Amino acid sequence: MSLLIRRADVLRVTPSTVETLPAHDILVNGARIAAIEPTGQIDPSQARTVIDADGQIAMPGLINTHAHTPMVLFRGLAEDVNIDRWFNEYIWPLEHNLQAEDVYWGMQLGLAEMIEAGVTTVADHYFYMDRAAAAVEKAGTRALLGWGVFSSSGLDALERTANFAQDYRGAASGRITTIIAPHAPYTCDDEYLTAAGDWARELNLGVHIHAAETKYETEASLKRFGRTPIQTLEKTGILDNRTMIAHACGATPDDITLLSKYDVGIAHCPKTYLKLAMDVTPVIAMRAVGIAVGLGTDGAVSNNTLDIWESLRLMALMQKDRAESPEVMTIAEALTIATRDSAKVVGLGDQIGALEVGKLADIILVDVSGLHHQPLYNLGASLVYSARASDVQTVIVNGDVIMRDRRLLTLDKAEIIANVRASMARLSQRRVEQRIQTYQP
């Protein structure tokens, strides 16, 4: 069951350095990296599969810390509208159409898109997550799954999400981890959040939630409740669990100080923020007080892709923009966020996010011979500012090759597209009065 990747340049990132181990072999035994040695040290005949990665960069699989992957089903259906209309007239009416099998095929479509872009792990927050799990099982990727719930779904629904989280933790040979997923403080009241926090504690799981998405949400919360959404998370005991907070563009300086006292990770999805004019997460201020920040895409109805290379680039560009300084958010720091820190945010900081002996073998091979990388003086700059999803050649998760030379090995593109197309007419209908929820933060 062993795999040998030969002659790769193996990426090594710290917050201040980007280097490679040039022309190294990576030996994978089962799900883990067993050795990384200069080519020639490891006998190729001991491996069942050998991949020649000459001239390619071996790096940790990319991690999407916040997505609603099956929303690829609605890609392009909500454009150029403000955030109120986006939720109330588009997304939540569209999601009324969703059936369990839509999630199964939508999840496969999104996972296939992510595999092609080198994304090996996704933290997904959506509905019918048992069917999402079936898609992950088939795709061979890694996922942290949470079944989203609102107060309006009732406490029964919360119990169902807890049961899902309990039943599916460790599924797909350990590739699936689970989390409790209340939607947001503006759709879950205090009692509901408290109950969600209780479930998380009881099951020893984390919580994945949207909060402080915009400064308007923060202002509205202050007006209605006399506290920020982040303070609500503290008050209801959510933060007593390991918590992943999506967005936090509207976090105040006091919120950041508060968050620094808890075991919190932030999922940062800059393309969505720009597209919906939500401002951006204060990533630099958060990192300055030790809060882990990871990269996400959010759903493809706002993004409109699931491309973490784009998130990485936009994160770096926008932090420079907001700081009015090109010197901040260096290449090494940006790549640290994309790798180790994103792993930390999804609760797998000791397992993935770096290519080291003993870690799980989630490895991508990236071709940097393309003209847009030439001449190659600065690999880090190429990865942050020039690389494209299409540069990813080969994808390995948990020791298994799931894309080789850009050919998907676990999922059937034609089958997925045929199944999605067959449902498009039904899925794209909108009746505003039938929306699943109301946006009124």
Q: In terms of CB distance, is 63 or 109 closer to a second copy?
A: 109
Q: Which of residues 80-109 bind a second copy (CB under 8 A)?
A: 80-83, 86, 109
- Tell whether residue 368 is a contact of a second copy (CB under 8 A): no
Strand-pair category, 62-67 with 56-60 = unpaired
- Tell whether residue 381 is a contact of a second copy (CB under 8 A): yes
- Tell whether residue 421 is a contact of a second copy (CB under 8 A): yes
Separation CA 28–CA 356 (nearest Å) = 11
Contacting range for a second copy; rule: CB under 8 A; set: 52-60, 127-135, 257-265, 327-335: 327-335
Residues in the chain: 441
Among 235, 330, 349, 436, binds a second copy (CB under 8 A): 330
Provide the greatest CA pair distance for the chain: 68
Estimate to the nearest angstrom the gap between the alpha carbon of 308 and the chain centroid. 8
Residues paired with 6 in a beta bridge = 52
Contacting range for a second copy; rule: CB under 8 A; set: 182-190, 204-212, 282-290, 374-382: 374-382
Separation CA 273–CA 275 (nearest Å) = 6
- Tell whether residue 12 is a contact of a second copy (CB under 8 A): no
Of 298, 300, 338, 299, which Cα lies nearest the Cα of 316? 338
Residue type, 164: F
Among 35, 157, 284, 323, binds a second copy (CB under 8 A): 323
- Are 130 and 165 contacting, i.e. CB atoms less than 8 angstroms apart? no
The span from the first CA to the last CA of the chain, in angstroms, equals 52
Residue type, 320: K
Among 35, 157, 220, 274, binds a second copy (CB under 8 A): 274
Q: Binding residues for a second copy, how many (CB under 8 A)?
A: 62
Tokens of residue 282, six digits: 């204060």
What binding mask, one character per residue, do residues 36-75 give for a second copy by CB under 8 A, x or -?
------------------------------------xx-x
Q: In terms of CB distance, is 49 or 390 closer to a second copy?
A: 390
**Cβ 423 to a second copy, closest distance in Å?**
9
**Cβ 438 to a second copy, closest distance in Å?**
19
**Cβ 408 to a second copy, closest distance in Å?**
9
**Cβ 274 to a second copy, closest distance in Å?**
4
Strand-pair category, 400-404 with 392-397 = antiparallel
Residues paired with 207 in a beta bridge = 180, 243
Q: Which long-range contacts (CB under 8 A, 24 or more apart) does 321-327 make?
A: 322/280, 322/282, 323/284
Q: In terms of CB distance, is 228 or 305 closer to a second copy?
A: 305
- Strand runs (DSSP E) across 337-424, as ranges? 363-367, 392-397, 400-404, 407-408
Would you tell me which residues interact with a second copy (CB under 8 A)? 72-73, 75-77, 79-83, 86, 109, 112-113, 116-117, 271, 273-277, 279, 303-307, 314, 317-318, 320-321, 323-327, 330-331, 371-378, 380-382, 385-386, 388-390, 413, 417, 420-421, 424, 428
